[in-house]
Structure 1
Amino acid sequence: MAQAPIRIGIGGWTFEPWRGTFYPEGLSQKKELEFASRALGAIEINGTYYSTFKPATFEGWSKTAPDGFVFTVKASRFCTNRKVLAEGGESIRRFVSQGLVELGDKLGPIFWQFMATKKFEPEDFRAFLALLPRDEAGVKLRHAVQVRHESFHVPEFVAMCRDAGVAIVYADSPQYPAIADITGDFVYARLEAGEDENPLCYPESDFPRWTEVAKTWASGGRPEGLPYVTAEAPPATPRETFLFFIHGGKVRAPAAAQELTRRLA
């Protein structure tokens, strides 16, 4: 079966310990995005979780990155850190309309991350999913949600996301339970269990497995050995796959992304 693009990346591009480990010595900070976007296939923009940016800023990022590169965008905390998610419509509107579409064809999925204390309240979460816009200024929007409380590990949540066409983020984490069920037309994975003591963030022996997992996702398959809530397999159609080395082992995350990219080539 054909394989959709696999985009391997990291979170953000401004991180002092990367200077001299990922970025060449002497590279100016202004050139870091230019360098990172040519060394990797994707970057998860994290600054949007804390702040808003002007349309010109998104346009500038897009112009700096090469053709074929993709940015995913982390949604504002004002949208997700709420007692009642259904009341976040205005915050969602403000976040989406700040200028994300200026990324053009380099705009990937919007990533909505919830606090680990946020429990699954079915009606409220269904209302939240209904608030997510499907387009902005004629540009199609895709959405991925990362939930980190065990109460979401129920078939109702998986079905809810599948009905909405929203991807559940698979997160390989030492702290939070993971859900690997495929619910969207793309796959979004975050490998969060890395350690800086490992030169490649993850043990080198793990890379053959992640290589096969990424290929299986991109080919429309359902990788074995991951934590699923349901036994239902999605349609076997190729899915664009995003995989980020992020959080744990951050200093070595770029090395991991480059190594996995090399193995997939």
Structure 2
Amino acid sequence: MKNQVLIGCSSFNNRFWKGIFYPDNLSSSRWFEFYCQYFNTYEFNGSFYKFPTVRIFENWYKKTPENFIFSVKAPKEITHLKKFNDCEDRIKEFYEVCETGLKEKLGCILFQFPPSYQFSAEKLDQIIRNLDLKFKNVIEFRHESWWNEEVWSAFRTHNITFCSVSHPQLPSTIFTDFPLIFIRLHGKPKMFYSSYSPEELLDIKNAIDLKSAFVYFNNTASEAGILNALALKHMLE
């Protein structure tokens, strides 16, 4: 992936998109197939709620076109319940399931920590020690204490990407000096619902143009996510 911007959404099974993106007469069983005609990446979030299996990912692999890329979110068992404590084997298993099932279609592995997870040097060290650095690891924090130079420097040293987020309670910095740019747009001011203006999308476009980036719209509780994704894709064409 050299100087390629991949744009997608964090869900696709969305009734609000019918008649706006999905044709009215298209069966919901074909929605993802239709999505793949417009986008070449998808952020797989189902793995956050239930630990995935190789078979599940093999099925996703088979139903996507050549050159399609998945980013996969780590299970909350790892990031929210255990918070990387005593789960080295589970993390290793997760990597193996992703790699075996998705093969060359595996893009980034996303680890998103909860708002209660605040910065400490010990936690930073624990994160780095538990990651398999041969993968494209992306870390998303939900507490502002992680926005500091100690974290950024350690991540750059170990080839880890600090996730850029658009979130009502967090800084909106788009980080361009990590192994790749990874942006999650959750909706502001109303999380999951709010749409981004053409001016906001243009700012994103200018920040990532001619660079390697993954951009995922997670404002999918309405029609906003798909319309924003299509608009940004058009801006970059």
1:56 counterpart = 2:55? yes
How many residues are treated as equivalent by the alignment?
Answer: 234
Structure 2 counterpart of 1:153, one-letter code: W
Which residue of 1 is the match for residue 224 of structure 2?
252
Cα pair 1:168 1:183 within 8 Å, conserved: no
Counterpart of 1:143 (choices 137, 148, 170) is 137
Cα pair 1:51 1:76 within 8 Å, conserved: yes
**1:189-215 CA distances to partner (integer Å, 9 max, x unpaired)?**
11223579xxx9311232322221120
1:156 counterpart = 2:128? no
- Give 5+ residue unaligned stretches, structure 2: none
**Separation in structure 1 between the aligned mates of residue 58 and residue 116 of structure 2, nearest angstrom:** 35
Q: Secondary structure at the match of 1:60?
A: helix
**Separation in structure 2 between the aligned mates of residue 263 and residue 179 of structure 1, nearest angstrom:** 20
Shift of 1:8: 0.7
Q: Secondary structure at the match of 2:201?
A: helix
Give the ranges of 4+ consecutive aligned residues of structure 1 lying more than 4 Å apart after TM superposition: none
Shift of 1:181: 3.8
Cα pair 1:114 1:147 within 8 Å, conserved: yes
- Seq. identity, %: 24
Q: Structure 2 length as normaliser, TM-score?
A: 0.88
**Separation in structure 2 between the aligned mates of residue 83 and residue 107 of structure 1, nearest angstrom:** 25
Shift of 1:156: 0.8
Shift of 1:256: 1.1
Change (3 A) 1:110 1:84: closer
Shift of 1:246: 1.2
Shift of 1:129: 1.7
Shift of 1:178: 4.2
Which residue of 1 is the match for residue 122 of structure 2?
123
Cα pair 2:57 2:98 within 8 Å, conserved: yes
Q: Aligned-pair RMSD on alpha carbons?
A: 2.4
Which residue of 1 is the match for residue 203 of structure 2?
209
**Separation in structure 1 between the aligned mates of residue 181 and residue 83 of structure 2, nearest angstrom:** 27
Which residue of 2 is the match for residue 172 of structure 1?
166
Structure 2 counterpart of 1:118, one-letter code: Y
Structure 1 counterpart of 2:8, one-letter code: G
1:88 counterpart = 2:82? no
Shift of 1:61: 1.3
Cα pair 2:133 2:158 within 8 Å, conserved: no
Change (3 A) 1:92 1:86: same
Trace 1:228-239 onto structure 2 (pairs within 5 A). none
**Separation in structure 1 between the aligned mates of residue 173 and residue 233 of structure 2, nearest angstrom:** 24
Structure 2 counterpart of 1:147, one-letter code: F
